[in-house]
Amino acid sequence: MTATQSLTIAANSMGLVNKYAKQADAIYAGDLPIRRAGGATHTADLTRLRADACAESATTTRNAEQVIAHAGVAGTAAETLVRTGLTHGVGWAEVLGAQSDAALAAKHAAETACSAAETTEAAAKALDADRNATVEANNAVKYRQAAEREAAAATKLADQAEKLAAAARAAEATRTGSGCAPSRTPATRGHGRPTRKPTTCGPRLSGTSPGSRPASPSPSTRPPTTRRGGPSSSRTSRPARAPPPRPQPMRSPIRSRASTGWSTSRRRRRFAPRRRSRSATPRS
pLDDT at 234: 46
Task: Give domain status of residue 83, yes or no.
Answer: yes
Distance, in Å, from the CA atom of 275 to the CA atom of 284, rounded to the nearest integer, reads: 20
C-alpha–C-alpha distance, residues 213 and 229, integer Å: 33
Residues 6+ apart with CB under 8 A from 199: 179, 180, 181, 182, 183, 211
Residue 273's pLDDT is what?
59
Question: Which pLDDT belongs to residue 196?
Answer: 52
Sequential pLDDT tens for the chain (284 residues): 588 888 899 999 999 999 999 999 999 999 888 888 878 888 899 999 999 999 999 999 999 999 888 888 888 877 777 777 777 777 777 888 888 889 999 999 999 999 999 999 999 998 888 888 888 888 899 999 999 999 999 999 999 999 999 999 999 888 887 655 555 544 445 555 555 555 555 545 444 544 455 555 554 555 555 455 444 444 555 666 777 777 666 655 555 555 555 555 555 555 555 666 555 555 54
| pLDDT value, residue 92 | 77
Domain contains 273: no
Q: Tell whether 245 is covered by a domain.
A: no
Q: What is the pLDDT of residue 277?
A: 57
pLDDT in the model for residue 91: 78
Q: Tell me if 105 is assigned to some domain.
A: yes
Phi-psi region of 179 (alpha: psi -120 to 50; beta: other; left: phi over 0): left
Residue-level pLDDT at 19? 92
pLDDT at position 31 is 87
Angstrom distance (rounded) from CA 171 to CA 177: 10
Question: Is 48 within the bounds of a domain?
Answer: yes
Q: At what angle do helices 43-84 and 3-37 cross, to 10 degrees?
A: 160
Total domains, the chain: 1
Tell me, yes or no, whether 11 lies in a domain: yes
216 occurs within a structural domain? no
Judge whether 53 lies within some domain. yes
pLDDT at 272: 55
Domain interval for residue 72 = 3-130
pLDDT at 283: 55
